[in-house]
Amino acid sequence: MRPDWDSYFMKIAYAVSERSTCDRALVGCVLVLEKRILTTGFNGSPMGQPHCEDVGHLMVDEHCVRTIHAETNAIIQAALHGVSTKGSTCYVTHLPCINCTKALINAGIARLVYSVAYRTDENAMNFLKAANIEICQKDYTPA
């Protein structure tokens, strides 16, 4: 049976998450426009910097600050390659944090599809609603 589009892109987001180099949360993100993948991103260190899996976590206030989140990495990839994200859908394995939420809003996403409600931030949810971004939780269990 063919998967629906949301299931298809969520499966890809989970495949992207396998590249994450910070094991505190293996997160993958896929930005899609008109059923075409624009960019992907996963949790990892800035280019040329050591990864958590190699040197350990850099913890500040219970957060690993060595890592750039998957959503931000997907947006950065779009910027590096001159790809507009306006009107796109963000498929992400975990509900975005407040900082990624703000970046996604400013990147012009129109829809957010996530699987895991990880550390739900009420302010982030309010920002998404105020920006008229459609929010959809898609139950997905990786194979």
Q: What is the mean pLDDT of each run of 10 residues along the chain (143 residues)?
A: 95 97 94 98 95 92 92 98 98 96 98 93 96 94 74
And the tokens for 17? 């998450």
Which residues are CB-contacts of 95 (< 8 A; sequence separation ≥ 6)?
114, 116, 117, 118, 119, 120, 121, 124
* DSSP strand pairing (89-94 vs 36-42): unpaired
Q: What is the pTM of this model?
A: 0.94
- pLDDT of res. 118: 82
Would you call 95 exposed, middle or buried from its count of C-beta atoms within 10 A (0-12, 13-18, 19+)? buried
- pLDDT of res. 86: 98
8 A C-beta contact, residue 26 and residue 130: no
Which residues are tagged catalytic? Answer: 71
- pLDDT of res. 142: 74
